[in-house]
Chains A and B, each alone.
Chain A
Amino acid sequence: MREESLTAVATSIRARTLSPVEAVERCLERVRKWDGRIRAFIRLDEEGARESARKLEAEAAAGRWRGPLHGVPVAFKDLCHLRGLPTSCGTAMPGYFASAQDCTAARRLLDAGAISLGKLNMTELALGAFGDNAHHGDAENPWRAGHATGGSSSGSGAGLAAGFFLGTVGSDTGGSIRLPAACCGVVGLKPTYGRVSRAGAMVLSWSMDHLGPLAWTSRDVALLLQEMAGRDPADATASRRAVPDYLAGIDRGITGVRVGLPENYFFQGVDGETAAGVRRAARQLEDLGARVSEIRIPDPQHMTDVAMLIARAESAALHADVLRNHPEMLQPTVRGRLEVGLGVAAYDYLQALRLRAKLTRAFIGEVFDEIDVLLTPVIPEPAPALAPLKATPVEEFNIRSGRFSRLTRPFNGYGLPALSVPCGFTTEGLPMAFQAVGRPFDEGLLLRLGHAYQEAAGWHLRRPTL
């Protein structure tokens, strides 16, 4: 089953050639065998998963189907609140976050029939780009021992790549879905701001947070997004727009789609092999019918700075209690990042929010008049070795972390949808990825492009040897 996609497993369960109990047991077997090393889970819920699987199996036998994810094993980043399980948010405090209601995005997947295997490892408070965690252990990259998984949704990326589950929900404030997706060789989507409700999930920055799906293929991600997306009375920022059918046109191909490779910012200071991999992917998209051109875009560094200041101020305000009253409970790198936010002046914060509006309008207007999809690298270098990174002083570590997310963070500021798609491997065997960015609420086109590329390139069929 490990070599199959979420879609294939869902189809097999529907055809009754695979039972929910079998699907869950196969995943749990892998978790038991490998998670001592991968450390994807903070809390494995074996009994809960088995109970759900038995229930769903009985329902299937009676011809009752909850939805398109009936019986599919999934897991959730440990900042998604689900009744009955504590939510540590990667801290040393098991119940750091509590909510009156379940995380809407996770609950919608469960309502569609998915089975939760438990809660996943993450960088403490979702603050950090590499996936290290001093309290729960560093998640390990299944493709290469000792290398970072990317963060902050480290367990989501690593566990998916290790075959522990078939789909997952991550959060993304500066790249935390896309970085682990790129480092671990899976697909990750940061949807448009407001496309997916954030109710019931820990907030790091209410202006920059996004929840989104990760899976092996763009089609799988489309299937997950279909269930997660849509208005939610519990989240005032959730868009009221209707949710399109993401799967309906996914096989339509990309003939005539205008793809832009940025001349500025996104290829500067990027590892040569990574840059070449993304440019090679662009040529493959051209072979598939896309019209690829180079484009000069408004300087994303401005939005990177604006987004960083807003996120720092909001995260410090939100987590002020632990920062002020129990700072010793936090990792030094996380504490250092939060402390900076305590000193942000209201004047600067408000000007940054105003600038965000102006920069977003300018970016959408200038870029998407000329192209339909912007194509960039996701990470500036392949997943780095973690031990040498952790040996650096706190300040240096946080500077490296900021650099590692410099290609993803602008799109949290712009609020635009951004899809990370694997596009090959380095000579050292580490995954490479491109980032496809679209107009607001144009996730459908990104998923169609990702799907066309994956069907042609086939990188998703490779799996790590554990």
Chain B
Amino acid sequence: MTDAQRQQAEMASMAGVIERLAGELALAEEPARFIAALEAEEDVPPDA
């Protein structure tokens, strides 16, 4: 297997995991809610 093939395989593996997990995301979920979670600013989680 070449370096390029190995990299493609690694990328595909990571993308597969993300795709599987992303199926459970609520429409209202967004990246900024990460900071909100740390700062405890959220009243209602988007998946409530």
Contact = CB atoms under 8 A, between A and B. Distances in A.
Question: Interface extent on B, as a size class?
Answer: 20 to 34
B7 A312 contact: no
Given A356-B31, A364-B37, A343 B22 contact: no
Give the secondary structure class of A's interface.
helix
Interface in B13-37: 14-15, 17-19, 21-22, 24-26, 29-37
A418 B41 CA distance: 22
A69 interface: no
Contacts of A340: 7, 10-11
B43 interface: no
Contacts of A360: 34, 37-38
Contacts of A25: none
B45 A348 contact: no
B14 A305 contact: yes
A332 to B, nearest CB: 9
Contacts of B38: 192-194, 239, 360, 415, 440-441
B37 to A, nearest CB: 4
A349 to B, nearest CB: 9
B39 A348 contact: no
Interface string A205-245: 00000000000000000000000000000000101010000
A348 B14 contact: yes
B15 A355 contact: no
Give the secondary structure class of B's interface.
helix
Contacts of A93: none
Contacts of A440: 37-40
A305 B17 CA distance: 7
B47 A239 contact: no
Nearest to B23: A351
Interface string A346-370: 0010111111111011001000000
B18 A351 contact: yes
Contacts of B25: 351, 354-355, 358
A357 B29 contact: yes
Interface string A130-146: 00000000000000000
A309 B18 contact: yes
A302 interface: yes
30 contacts: A193-B38, A237-B35, A305-B14, A305-B21, A306-B18, A308-B14, A309-B15, A309-B17, A340-B7, A340-B11, A348-B15, A348-B19, A350-B31, A351-B18, A354-B31, A355-B18, A355-B22, A355-B25, A357-B34, A357-B36, A357-B37, A358-B47, A360-B38, A361-B37, A394-B3, A395-B3, A415-B38, A440-B37, A440-B38, A440-B40
Given A241-B39, A354-B30, 10 more contacts: A309-B18, A312-B14, A340-B11, A348-B14, A350-B31, A357-B31, A357-B32, A358-B25, A358-B33, A360-B37
Interface of B: 3, 6-8, 10-11, 14-15, 17-19, 21-22, 24-26, 29-40, 42, 45-47
